[in-house]
């Protein structure tokens, strides 16, 4: 029997790349999204790989709709093995110029959607004592940037929720894995769809990565769960800067204001914050000429732990050696 994966926001960009990679590798796939036309296109695209596909129209900010979608997947496809919380929406604007309604909506679609998806999956996974839940996050959940305060806050919240829930599952000895995949700037249509009231177009600063690299990291995490996964060297650099020099990281991030905007003025965009934006089901955005096509630039928390253990061992050896030198040569007792 084919394993079963659910991908929210699976009709474009990273979500579509992930759903397609699951299907290519023999999984049955359920996709949850708002736009019915893109859902139909996505279903046709995935069915071509020969596995069952379920396309469900739902707003992931609606907890009841997400719960109903999970029930339908279990009923029509079977037990869910992996649930990927990928859906998001954002607004590009200075924090003090974002309305309360926009803050609320970004929080609902980017944070609460992951809560609702996680709870819907747990309802079925927990009694079976198996399953993998993957939260798709961002380097901006590690090092926040200007013009994206609602999105950054929502992604930070995802980490807090996931870490707290993971502790509870460990306490209850529940063998359902919780993973967070932190992503860099990625060449997806989202840069065309985001609500933007800055007077300039949104731009993806270098380096920009291929959505298929992100899909590879997500699907690999579903197969072999890891606590955390970092995609792209830019995310590692953001993590290191935030840990070791947060003040410097603030100043470097401040310089990202202009790097996120086009030089030429552009009209404001309503974007897909409250309603889906029409358009085809496609993976790639408009930055293909600058996209890094590597398929191997991601690292897991297990590799980090190994590296830290190795550094710790080297440090310990160095400390013992330094201590021995400080004590001087060992004096043997005189012969009697």
Distance in angstroms (rounded) separating the CA atoms of residues 304 and 301? 5
Distance in angstroms (rounded) separating the CA atoms of residues 122 and 130? 9
CA 96 to chain centre: 26
The DSSP result for 66-83, as a single string, is HHHHHHHHHHHT-S--EE
Residue of 194, 87, 185 whose CA lies nearest to 136: 87
Please confirm, yes or no, whether 151 is among the known catalytic residues: yes
Instruction: Give the SS3 label for residue 204.
Output: coil
Which residues is 29 bridged to in the sheet? 5, 53
Instruction: Give the SS3 label for residue 303.
Output: helix
Residue ranges of domains in the chain, CATH in brackets: 4-327 (3.40.50.720)
Distance in angstroms (rounded) separating the CA atoms of residues 235 and 213? 14
Say if residues 54 and 7 touch (Cβ distance below 8 Å): no
Catalytic residue selected from 116, 151, 182, 203: 151
pLDDT of residue 311: 42
Single pTM value for the model: 0.89
What does DSSP say about strands 228-231 and 298-300: parallel, antiparallel, or unpaired? Answer: antiparallel
pLDDT of residue 93: 97
pLDDT of residue 106: 98
Query: pLDDT in tens for each of the 336 residues of the chain?
Result: 789 999 999 999 999 999 999 999 999 999 999 999 999 999 999 999 999 999 999 999 999 999 999 999 999 999 999 999 999 999 999 999 999 999 999 999 999 999 999 999 999 999 999 999 999 999 999 999 999 999 999 999 999 999 999 999 999 999 999 999 999 999 999 999 999 999 999 999 999 999 999 999 999 999 999 999 999 999 989 989 999 999 999 999 999 999 999 999 999 999 999 999 999 999 999 999 999 887 678 888 665 555 445 545 554 555 445 554 555 544 444 444
Instruction: Give the SS3 label for residue 294.
Output: coil
Backbone phi and psi for residue 255, each to the nearest 5 degrees, phi listed first: -70, -10
Distance in angstroms (rounded) separating the CA atoms of residues 92 and 104? 14
pLDDT of residue 58: 98
Distance in angstroms (rounded) separating the CA atoms of residues 160 and 173? 20
Which residues is 92 bridged to in the sheet? 196
Q: What is the crossing angle of helices 233-244 and 246-254, to 10°?
A: 130
pLDDT of residue 92: 98
Strand order across the 298-300 sheet: 53-57, 28-33, 4-8, 82-85, 132-138, 177-183, 228-231, 298-300
pLDDT of residue 268: 95
What does DSSP say about strands 177-183 and 228-231: parallel, antiparallel, or unpaired? Answer: parallel
Residues 6+ apart with CB under 8 A from 165: 118, 178
- Please report which residue ranges of the chain form alpha helices under DSSP H: 13-24, 36-47, 63-76, 100-106, 113-128, 149-171, 190-193, 211-223, 233-244, 246-254, 256-259, 301-327
Residue of 158, 136, 139, 137 whose CA lies nearest to 232: 139
């Amino acid at each position: 029997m084919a394993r079963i994966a659910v991908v929210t926001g699976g009709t474009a960009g990273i979500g579509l790349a992930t759903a397609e990679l699951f299907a290519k590798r023999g999984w049955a796939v359920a996709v949850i999204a708002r736009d019915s036309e893109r859902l139909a296109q996505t279903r046709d695209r995935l069915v071509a790989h020969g596995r069952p596909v379920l396309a469900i129209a739902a707003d992931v900010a609606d907890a009841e709709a997400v719960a109903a979608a999970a029930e339908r997947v279990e009923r029509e496809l079977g037990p869910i093995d992996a649930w990927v919380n990928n859906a998001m929406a954002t607004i590009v604007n200075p924090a003090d110029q974002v309305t309360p309604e926009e803050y609320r909506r970004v929080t609902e679609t980017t944070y609460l959607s992951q809560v609702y998806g996680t709870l819907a999956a747990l309802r079925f996974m927990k009694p079976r004592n198996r399953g993998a839940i993957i939260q798709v996050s961002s380097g901006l959940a590690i090092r926040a940037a200007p013009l994206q305060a609602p999105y950054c806050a929502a992604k930070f919240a995802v980490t807090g929720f996931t870490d707290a829930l993971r502790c509870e599952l460990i306490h209850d000895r529940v063998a359902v894995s919780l993973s967070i995949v932190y992503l860099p700037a990625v060449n997806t249509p989202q840069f065309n769809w985001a609500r933007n009231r800055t007077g300039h177009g949104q731009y993806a600063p270098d380096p920009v990565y291929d959505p298929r690299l992100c899909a590879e990291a997500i699907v690999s995490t579903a197969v072999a769960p890891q606590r955390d996964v970092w995609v792209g060297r830019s995310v590692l650099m953001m993590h290191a800067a935030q840990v070791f020099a947060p003040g410097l990281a603030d100043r470097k991030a401040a310089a990202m204001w202009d790097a996120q905007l086009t030089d030429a003025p552009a009209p404001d965009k309503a974007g897909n914050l409250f309603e889906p934006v029409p358009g085809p089901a496609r993976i790639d955005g408009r930055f293909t000429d600058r996209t890094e096509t590597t398929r191997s630039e991601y690292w897991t928390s297990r590799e980090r732990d190994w590296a830290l253990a190795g550094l710790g061992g080297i440090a310990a050896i160095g400390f013992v050696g330094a201590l021995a030198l400080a004590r001087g040569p060992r004096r043997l007792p005189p012969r009697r």
